[in-house]
């Protein structure tokens, strides 16, 4: 395996401290976000100055920094975004992670050689998606988390870098296609403010009767494939990504260091599964239960946990007695002062260990297989299980990394000191070489300095980020020079070496294979597009003279769309080059002028705007490049998922149970909102519809005045009368 290009280990950092921990723990690259435009808006994130400093540290240690701009960007933000992109480019950031097509268009205009990675939010999962990224000049695809290893084995052979998630949180919805948080509370997941509705509790109704009550039926377990890295690494992926920019320092340190260890073992042919103790470390830092996910084809029923949505920690004991505030626990694992614990019985209660007694003595540590007595105000009962959710030892280890940072990058120093030649120092670090010289040495030394003395001066690197691993002094014992000369040259050499390393960044002027902006016939014809869910609905729409009718299979079938059947598309994987008959849907996330311009270059003549664009915001969006459409009536899919909670609720290990063909399903949230549930039996996809019926029909005239040419109506559970009323109202408003 010596000739095999090693995979990149990519770590998360939500703060500068987490960044330092990631670098020290063995990450090859770290992904971070600035204060704006990142999908984790509630993480501390990085100031511009911290981004530049992170790049400095990373490049000195031969690591990379990727910055996320993985949200949708509105027109009024483009000016700020341009300034930000310019700053990142000048700061030598290695790549930008992008969701919005418009951001790709903008980067290519500003800095064609700036490396772009397509975010998982772009939902890239097939060969067509990869080829379209190549057309756009995008260097790397961060695949949708629904992509299986069999598919990945094929995609890595297409010439584009492939990055996959291997550890951390999973979304319930198809990557980049969740509108639920925005629909419920106007907190957009596409804008970094997801309220995590997938972690809430719901009641599942089957034919109006409760099948599952008040359970977290759409809460995914966390992904972990650390014990299956041999399968992953043999696929040819470029980068393994760990999720967790909202996670703790000890999470970053533990997960990154263990994946580092296992990756290195793989390339040394010594790979083995993690030990029991390593498994405990992983679980105590953060876990919602683990699954191999879609990546390694875990069974449908194994991908979710209906009962637990938060960090579960590890089981460490059981309550065996309780007397007022005194709680005695039989320990299965050790317990330390300041550890975080959780009691689980009929209820759950959390606490930190502040007072603990062992053999009637106040202590700070109790080994496993002993009884410990805690003084707590926390309610709990005899028989409750006790879980450790914070391990103070791991927490302190992560803090120690920061305390003793910076690390030192190894350099080689070679110095030539010869009469009638310049005093010359050569510094080498990670194959980067700099040479600095002093004036020609013409004077003969009366008392030449010893080689040991010369070396001791050159090795004074304590105030730098470097450590000398090898030094070679070539001195003729004749030339005269001063210690001051040597010190000045050392400082100059270190400064130039650091500058060279920091500024060393790969830039790829990748060719995009797009046409120029083409002229589109922007006539005044107004078009009605209708999506239906049944043949009966189709017949009703047809009888009312609607020409553009699309079936829901063509609307929601993400992974096996028939490319010979034209219709709505939702991502780059669903159209071939210059297929004008395709119509970008509300799920293409078009919210700005730049994305509209790019779709024009891709050959489209029309596109629908995102549902996150309000009627008022439509006014400010360009109508020069495409016939734009707006969704005015119906219930959109808030989530579409390949995880079937119907099958798992009924006890089926996997899908294809067929129950969705026989019954009607709904889910109810904590606010008593009823969400209709539809299914696509071909793929066993779950479709969670908006509980609110969207109705913007009475804004049609205003939208026409703003330049909108197409209007979308989505019929799912509507009756014949409701369909007739909606279509007739739409026609009337268009003609008014």
* Contact assessment for residue 38 and residue 99, using Cβ atoms and an 8 Å cutoff: no
Instruction: Tell me what the mean pLDDT of segment 579-596 comes to.
Output: 88
Cβ–Cβ contacts within 10 Å for residue 287, how many? 21
Average the pLDDT over each of 97-106, 532-541, 557-566, 626-635 and give the range with the smallest value: 557-566
Residue 559 has pLDDT above 50, yes or no: no
pLDDT for position 554: 44
Q: Which two tokens stand for residue 513?
A: 């294979």
**Residue ranges of the alpha helices (H) in 9-139?**
16-24, 48-60, 78-90, 101-110, 127-136
pLDDT tens profile 437-451: 999 999 999 999 999
pLDDT tens profile 217-232: 999 999 999 999 999 9
Q: Which residue has the tokens 């919005």?
A: 100
pLDDT for position 185: 81
pLDDT band at residue 561 using 50, 70 and 90 as cut-offs: very low
pLDDT band at residue 623 using 50, 70 and 90 as cut-offs: very high
Q: Which residue has the tokens 């290519």?
A: 108
C-alpha distances (whole Å) from 378 to each of 72, 311, 366, 375 are: 44, 19, 20, 9
Query: How are beta strands 627-634 and 710-714 bridged, if at all?
Result: parallel
pLDDT tens profile 240-272: 999 999 999 999 999 999 999 999 999 999 999
How many CA atoms, within 13 angstroms, populate the side-chain half-sphere of residue 220?
Answer: 25
Residue 563 has pLDDT above 50, yes or no: no
pLDDT band at residue 566 using 50, 70 and 90 as cut-offs: low
Residue 560 has pLDDT above 50, yes or no: no
Q: Could you give the CA distance from residue 688 to residue 217 in angstroms, rounded to a whole number?
A: 12
Q: Could you give the CA distance from residue 449 to residue 462 in angstroms, rounded to a whole number?
A: 22
Instruction: Tell me what the mean pLDDT of segment 402-431 comes to.
Output: 93
pLDDT tens profile 22-70: 999 999 999 999 988 866 666 688 999 999 999 999 999 999 999 999 9
Inter-residue long-range contacts of 81-85, CB under 8 Å, 24+ positions, other chains counted: 81/37, 81/106, 82/106, 82/110, 84/34, 84/36, 84/37, 85/110, 85/111, 85/114
Query: How are beta strands 209-215 and 326-331 bridged, if at all?
Result: unpaired
Please indicate whether residue 144 or residue 509 has the higher confidence score (pLDDT): 144
pLDDT tens profile 127-143: 999 999 999 999 999 99
Concatenate the DSSP letters of all residues of 533-547 into one string: SSHHHHHHHHHTT--
Concatenate the DSSP letters of all residues of 251-306 into one string: HHHHHHHHHHHHHHHHHTT---PPPHHHHHHHHHH--S-EE-TTTTT--GGGSB-S
- Residue 518 has phi, psi (to 5 degrees) of -105, 155
pLDDT band at residue 578 using 50, 70 and 90 as cut-offs: low
Concatenate the DSSP letters of all residues of 591-640 into one string: -SHHHHHHHHHTT-SEEEPPTTS-HHHHTTS--SSSEEEEEEEE--EEEE
Query: How are beta strands 161-168 and 239-242 bridged, if at all?
Result: parallel
From the list 545, 574, 570, the residue with the least C-alpha distance to 562 is 574
Q: At what angle do helices 101-110 and 78-90 cross, to 10 degrees?
A: 50
The DSSP output letter for 378 is S
* Contact assessment for residue 731 and residue 530, using Cβ atoms and an 8 Å cutoff: no
Q: Which two tokens stand for residue 233?
A: 């690494």
- Classify burial at 645, counting beta carbons within 10 Å of its beta carbon; exposed 0-12, middle 13-18, buried 19 or more: buried
Concatenate the DSSP letters of all residues of 313-354 into one string: -EEEEEEEEEETTEEEEEESS-EETT-EEEEESSSEEEEE--
Statement: the pTM of the whole predicted model exceeds 0.85 = yes
Residue 722 has pLDDT above 70, yes or no: yes
Q: Which two tokens stand for residue 171?
A: 């979304």
* Contact assessment for residue 106 and residue 81, using Cβ atoms and an 8 Å cutoff: yes
Mapped onto helix, strand or coil, the DSSP state of residue 69 is strand
pLDDT tens profile 193-205: 888 889 999 999 9
pLDDT tens profile 666-693: 999 999 999 999 987 677 899 999 999 9
The DSSP output letter for 565 is S
From the list 631, 634, 608, 632, the residue with the least C-alpha distance to 621 is 608
* Contact assessment for residue 38 and residue 98, using Cβ atoms and an 8 Å cutoff: no
Cβ–Cβ contacts within 10 Å for residue 604, how many? 25
Instruction: Tell me what the mean pLDDT of segment 373-402 comes to.
Output: 95
C-alpha distances (whole Å) from 136 to each of 126, 132, 212, 711 are: 16, 6, 46, 29
pLDDT band at residue 558 using 50, 70 and 90 as cut-offs: very low
pLDDT for position 579: 55
pLDDT tens profile 320-360: 999 999 999 999 999 999 999 999 999 999 999 999 999 99
Residue 575 has pLDDT above 90, yes or no: no
Instruction: Tell me what the mean pLDDT of segment 514-543 comes to.
Output: 90
pLDDT for position 39: 60
């Amino acid at each position: 395996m010596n000739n095999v290009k090693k995979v990149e280990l990519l770590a998360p950092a939500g703060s500068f401290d987490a960044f330092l921990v990631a670098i020290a723990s063995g990450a090859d690259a770290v992904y971070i976000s600035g204060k704006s435009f990142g999908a984790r808006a509630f993480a501390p994130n990085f100031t511009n100055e911290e981004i530049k400093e992170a790049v400095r540290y990373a490049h000195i240690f031969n690591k990379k920094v990727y910055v996320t701009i993985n949200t949708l960007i509105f027109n009024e933000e483009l000016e700020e975004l341009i300034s930000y992109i310019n700053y990142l480019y000048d700061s030598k950031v290695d790549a930008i992670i992008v969701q919005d097509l418009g951001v790709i268009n903008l980067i290519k205009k500003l800095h064609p050689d700036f490396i772009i990675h397509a975010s998982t939010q772009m939902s890239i999962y097939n060969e067509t998606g990869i080829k379209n990224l190549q057309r756009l000049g995008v260097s790397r695809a961060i695949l949708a988390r629904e992509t299986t290893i069999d598919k990945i084995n094929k995609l890595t052979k297409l010439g584009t870098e492939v990055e996959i998630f291997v550890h951390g949180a999973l979304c319930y919805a198809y990557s980049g296609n969740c509108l639920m948080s925005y629909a419920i509370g106007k907190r957009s997941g596409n804008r970094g403010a997801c309220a995590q509705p997938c972690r809430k509790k719901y009641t599942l109704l089957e034919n109006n009767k409760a099948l599952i009550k008040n359970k977290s039926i759409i809460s995914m377990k966390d992904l972990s494939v650390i014990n299956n890295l041999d399968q992953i690494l043999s696929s040819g992926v470029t980068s393994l990504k760990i999720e967790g920019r909202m996670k703790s320092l000890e999470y970053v340190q533990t997960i990154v260091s263990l994946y580092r260890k296992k990756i290195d073992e793989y390339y040394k042919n010594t790979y083995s599964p993690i030990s029991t103790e390593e498994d405990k470390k992983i679980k105590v830092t953060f876990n919602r239960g683990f699954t191999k996910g879609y990546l390694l084809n875990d069974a449908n029923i194994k991908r979710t946990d209906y009962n637990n949505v938060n960090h579960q920690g590890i089981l460490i004991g059981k309550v065996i007695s309780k007397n007022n505030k005194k709680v005695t626990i039989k320990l299965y694992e050790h317990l330390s002062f300041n550890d975080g614990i959780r009691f689980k019985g009929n209820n759950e209660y959390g606490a930190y260990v502040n007072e603990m007694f062992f053999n009637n003595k106040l202590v700070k540590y109790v080994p496993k297989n002993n009884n410990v007595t805690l003084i707590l105000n926390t309610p709990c009962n005899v028989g409750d299980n006790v879980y450790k959710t914070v391990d103070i030892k791991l927490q302190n280890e992560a803090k120690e990394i920061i305390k003793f940072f910076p690390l030192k990058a190894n350099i080689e120093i070679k110095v030539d000191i010869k009469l009638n030649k310049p005093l010359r120092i050569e510094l080498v670090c990670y194959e980067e070489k700099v040479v600095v010289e002093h004036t020609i040495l013409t004077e003969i030394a009366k008392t030449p300095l010893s080689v040991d003395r010369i070396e001791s001066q050159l090795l004074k690197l304590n105030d730098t980020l470097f450590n000398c691993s090898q030094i070679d002094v070539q001195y003729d014992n004749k030339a005269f020079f001063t210690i001051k000369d040597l010190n000045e040259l050392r400082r100059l050499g270190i400064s130039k070496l650091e500058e060279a390393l920091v500024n060393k960044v790969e830039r790829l002027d990748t060719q995009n294979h797009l046409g120029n902006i083409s002229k589109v016939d922007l006539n005044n014809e107004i078009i009605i597009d209708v999506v239906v869910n049944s043949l009966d609905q189709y017949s009703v729409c047809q009888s009312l003279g609607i020409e553009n009718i699309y079936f829901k299979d063509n609307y929601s079938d993400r992974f096996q769309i028939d490319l010979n059947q034209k219709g709505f598309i939702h991502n780059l994987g669903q159209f071939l080059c210059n297929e004008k008959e395709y119509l970008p849907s509300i799920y293409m996330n078009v919210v700005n002028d730049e994305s509209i311009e790019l779709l024009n270059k891709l050959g489209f003549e029309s596109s629908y705007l995102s549902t996150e664009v309000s009627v008022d915001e439509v006014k400010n969006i360009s109508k020069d490049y495409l016939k734009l459409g707006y969704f005015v009536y119906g219930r959109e899919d808030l989530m579409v998922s390949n995880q079937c909670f119907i099958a798992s609720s009924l006890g089926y290990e996997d899908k294809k149970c067929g129950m969705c063909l026989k019954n009607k399903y709904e889910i109810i949230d904590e606010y008593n909102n009823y969400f209709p549930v539809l299914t696509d039996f071909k793929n066993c996809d779950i479709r969670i519809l908006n509980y609110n019926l969207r109705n913007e029909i009475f804004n049609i005239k205003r939208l026409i005045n703003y330049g909108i040419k197409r209007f979308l109506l989505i019929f799912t559970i509507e009756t014949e009368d409701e369909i007739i009323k909606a279509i007739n109202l739409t026609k009337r408003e268009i003609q008014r």
